[in-house]
Amino acid sequence: MRARKWFGVLAIAAGVAVTVGLGSAAAGAGGHHSPDDGAAIDVYYDTVGAGPMFNQPVCTSGTNCVVPFTVSPVKLSGDIEGVATGTGGAGGDATHNAIVRVVIYEVTASPCGAGTFITEYAARNVSSVPGPDGVTYPTGEANYSRIVPGLGTGDLVGLTGIIVPVSSGPEPGHTSWHARINCGDQGNSD
């Protein structure tokens, strides 16, 4: 019985973290820099898609469980357009836990170009708290996704940066995101 109770807590925390990782920001103006000048560029995008699909938890004892999950492809629109999908897991109990997630994006990122990139997210001691807008947000020691350097393709081969959630709503599965990116080399040979 206890495993089911903590599975619910972990599933809620993992679900919120997945939404955050694949989330979106209200589409807005991009940064004021050229993609070739090496400066960070602010971009905004929205995501719409289904929430995580949870697999059977694996427990070592009554309250210590790992909950693996996957996320079906979500659609991105705004300064970053395309699709993203991911996988991850949550483990521990309500007060001592960790969430990890990997997401792959197949997108056009204005103004950098088209290709793929991968983000990673990890947080410890995550709990869910209601925000001022009534949406439940995770709290913990990290609340952003990092673009993994060196794993981009196409025009995004040198892409680096971080992605943070801005808001959720108005319909289920909709999230707004803010990304601070650097286009990098873009595979150009000058």
Q: Using the structure block, give the residue that is written with the tokens 């080399």.
A: 185
Class of domain 2-182: mainly beta
Per-residue pLDDT, 65: 85
Per-residue pLDDT, 71: 86
Per-residue pLDDT, 32: 36
Per-residue pLDDT, 153: 97
CB crowding 37-69: b at 16 or more within 10 Å, else e: eeeebbbbbbbebebbebeebebeeebbbbbbb
Distance CA 126, CA 136 (A): 12
Per-residue pLDDT, 29: 33
- Can you state the percent helix, strand and coil of the chain, rounding each to 5? 15, 50, 40
Per-residue pLDDT, 184: 86
Question: Could you read off the pLDDT tens digit of each residue along the chain, which spans 190 residues?
Answer: 334 443 343 344 444 444 334 433 223 333 334 444 567 889 999 888 887 888 898 888 777 888 899 988 999 999 999 999 999 998 887 667 788 899 999 999 988 999 999 999 887 766 655 555 555 545 555 568 999 999 999 999 999 999 988 877 777 778 888 899 999 865 444 3
